[in-house]
């Protein structure tokens, strides 16, 4: 008897013969898919549920101590940081978006995509870089003293390691969120309302302030919400600059005070801040309804010449230079200085980081396909809710997820070890806590939404009629997925893997908490070296992360170029 792969129901038969069997097999298969969706969603929601559930174990003594000492500082600094980043990203993002959307000036096409480059620069890396540039021994102050003859301490110089400095660093790398969404909104606005404003004598900036900006409010608020959630999730920048926020407080409470319960409750409070941002963003979208009447026309174009064109170039060049060109150049210079002293340890470090990112990206892709295709097979509120719950982790800071992973994993390990000792006299040790499995699980909770949204978008472009045609030919759900959907969405699948890959390389707080003993990644090594003021040695791992981060930015740039060429 010939051996080979077992054919799926309907494969190798005529359509008429296969249809009855496939209908039965497909219906049973689809019915079995829903429990899987619910199980995956429950597992991925576990860390958030644990953090929220920690509020049930409220310890008055601990919270009284925190409230009397550090909690007011955490709340105040987090709010001030959000305010500074919100104002900064709004000004940079909307201003440059308006210039690139409706104005014509030298270099506009270059700035259209180049203004996205700071997205490749993690905030904690740009913080290290500017500290090295602007500190007393850095090239800026050294050059200033050489030119003026001043002595150290005889002149005032802004302190980069401050709350203001942290807000500036985060603004420089997060404004592209606002720029990207605001520019898309400006491009989609019809000329009707803008031309009316033009006939009333409004110039470009008054038209922007009175007409275009209110119409783009939902998109701008969406970009601001993304920037503010990243601000709340940041750990490396605020820790390095000595700014006490919720993320640094969680680390300090857990590792400094040894109070896991209090750390979990601080994480729950931070989660409340994140959900407040999400609710404000959704309320803004519900409250804004703008409609274009008549035939859509492209927005008017303003030709800028002379000093106006020079001002537009400067307005776009400054955030690009400060957010990417200057720090990337400095990292490259430092990397070249220490290139001769980089040992084999760096190759091992890079290999571990890449391997971890590849495994996580592959698992995230499989789960995203399972969830997105399951939602396609099972239209209804329950599957849709399960998919949304599974993808909510991206809005949750890595610190919160780490806390939510450690507590149940440690409880499971301790319970199993206790039972094994009592029953068989054998210790099982730590099977989940402090392992790569816990770290990968946390990454999946954090970044599955990135892969899921991309896969959903790809599947959404495949018409339902193609599924029906495959069904009439005798193909079951898996055969349809393999033969019809996967070839059509191959580009979306690769993009989904790439985005998760880069996010895992950059993730710092969850890695710091959950990594196994003596296991480092590029992000952790860069953080440790920079914390020890070994900024030049921190440059190679930091530059590697930045180079990897350029890949999704290039994808975004290509999509912008295609949209412009076909628009």
pLDDT in the model for residue 93:
94
Q: Residue 167 pLDDT > 50, yes or no? A: yes
Report which listed range, 187-196, 219-228, 357-366, 494-503, is most confident: 357-366
The residues, ordered by sequence, that sit 6+ positions from 362 with a Cβ below 8 Å of its Cβ are 497
Query: Between the CA of residue 97 and those of 73, 109, 186, 213, what are the distances in Å?
Result: 35, 12, 8, 11
Which one has a higher pLDDT value, 260 or 452? 452
Which one has a higher pLDDT value, 146 or 30? 146
The Cα 553–Cα 395 span in angstroms is 20
pLDDT in the model for residue 298:
56
The residues pairing with 104 across neighbouring beta strands, listed in sequence order, are 303
pLDDT per residue as tens digits for the range 430-469: 788 888 999 999 999 999 988 888 888 788 777 777 777 7
Q: Residue 516 pLDDT > 90, yes or no? A: no
CATH topology of domain 70-244+301-333: MetI-like fold (1.10.3720)
Q: Residue 101 pLDDT > 70, yes or no? A: yes
pLDDT in the model for residue 564:
52
Share of the chain above pLDDT 90, in %: 28
**Can you count the helices (H) and strands (E) in the chain?**
27, 2
CB atoms near residue 536 (< 10 Å): 17
Say which range, 58-67, 168-177, 221-230, 557-566, has the weakest mean pLDDT: 557-566
> What is the DSSP-derived secondary structure letter of residue 117?
G
| pLDDT band, very low/low/confident/very high, at 9 (cuts 50, 70, 90) | very low
SS3 label, residue 346: helix
pTM of the model: 0.84
The Cα 279–Cα 499 span in angstroms is 26
Domain extents for the chain? 70-244+301-333
Which one has a higher pLDDT value, 349 or 313? 313
Contact 51, 400 (CB under 8 A): yes
pLDDT per residue as tens digits for the range 383-424: 888 888 888 888 788 889 998 999 899 888 888 888 888 888
Tokens of 320: 């690009």
Which one has a higher pLDDT value, 320 or 198? 320
> How large is the average pLDDT for residues 364-371?
91
| pLDDT band, very low/low/confident/very high, at 201 (cuts 50, 70, 90) | low
Q: Residue 38 pLDDT > 70, yes or no? A: yes
Contact 216, 189 (CB under 8 A): yes
Q: Residue 1 pLDDT > 60, yes or no? A: no
């Amino acid at each position: 008897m010939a051996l080979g792969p077992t054919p799926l129901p309907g494969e190798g038969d005529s359509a008429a013969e296969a249809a009855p069997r496939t209908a039965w097999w497909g219906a049973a298969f689809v019915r079995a898919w829903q429990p899987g969706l619910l199980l995956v969603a429950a597992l991925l929601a576990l860390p958030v549920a644990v953090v929220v559930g920690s509020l049930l174990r409220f310890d008055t003594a601990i919270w009284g101590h925190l409230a009397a000492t550090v909690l007011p500082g955490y709340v105040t600094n987090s709010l001030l940081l959000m305010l500074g980043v919100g104002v900064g990203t709004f000004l940079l993002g909307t201003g440059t978006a308006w210039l690139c959307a409706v104005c014509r000036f030298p270099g506009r096409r270059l700035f259209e995509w180049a203004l996205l480059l700071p997205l490749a620069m993690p905030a904690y890396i740009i913080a290290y870089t500017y500290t090295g540039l602007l500190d007393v021994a850095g090239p800026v102050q050294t050059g200033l003293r050489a030119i003026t003859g001043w002595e150290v301490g005889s002149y005032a110089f802004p302190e980069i390691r401050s709350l203001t400095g942290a807000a500036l660093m985060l603004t420089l790398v997060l404004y592209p969120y606002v720029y990207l969404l605001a520019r898309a909104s400006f491009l989609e606005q019809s000329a009707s309302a803008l031309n009316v404003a033009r006939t009333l004598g409004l110039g470009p900036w008054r038209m922007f302030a009175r007409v275009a900006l209110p119409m783009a409010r939902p998109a701008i608020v969406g970009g601001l919400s993304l920037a503010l959630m990243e601000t709340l999730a940041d750990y490396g920048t605020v820790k390095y600059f000595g700014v006490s926020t919720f993320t640094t407080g969680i680390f300090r409470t857990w590792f400094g005070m040894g109070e896991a319960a209090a750390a979990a409750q601080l994480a729950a409070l931070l989660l409340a801040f994140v959900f407040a941002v999400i609710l404000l963003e959704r309320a803004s979208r519900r409250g804004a309804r703008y409609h274009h009447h008549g035939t859509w026309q492209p927005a008017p174009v303003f030709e800028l010449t002379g000093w106006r064109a020079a001002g537009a170039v400067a307005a776009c060049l400054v955030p690009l230079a400060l957010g990417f060109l200057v720090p990337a150049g400095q990292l490259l210079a430092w990397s070249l200085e220490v290139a001769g002293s980089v040992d084999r340890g760096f190759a091992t470090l890079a290999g571990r980081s890449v391997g971890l990112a590849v495994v996580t990206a592959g698992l995230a892709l499989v789960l995203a396909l399972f969830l997105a295709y399951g939602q396609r097979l099972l239209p209804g509120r329950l599957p849709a809710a399960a998919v949304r719950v599974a993808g909510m982790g991206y809005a949750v800071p890595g610190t919160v997820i780490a806390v939510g992973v450690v507590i149940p994993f440690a409880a499971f390990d301790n319970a199993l070890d206790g039972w094994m000792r009592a029953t068989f006299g054998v210790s099982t040790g730590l099977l989940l806590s402090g392992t790569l499995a816990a770290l990968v699980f946390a990454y999946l909770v954090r970044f599955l939404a990135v892969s899921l949204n991309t896969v959903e978008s790809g599947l959404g472009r495949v018409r339902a009629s193609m599924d029906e045609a495959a069904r009439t030919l005798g193909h079951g759900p898996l055969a349809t997925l393999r033969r019809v959907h996967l070839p059509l969405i191959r580009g979306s699948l690769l993009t989904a893997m790439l985005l998760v890959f880069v996010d895992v390389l950059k993730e710092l707080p969850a890695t710091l908490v959950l990594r196994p003993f003596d296991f480092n990644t590029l992000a952790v090594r860069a953080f440790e070296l920079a914390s020890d003021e070994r900024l030049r040695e921190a440059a190679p791992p930091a530059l590697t992360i930045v180079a990897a981060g350029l890949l999704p930015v290039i994808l975004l740039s290509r999509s912008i170029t295609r949209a412009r060429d076909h628009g």
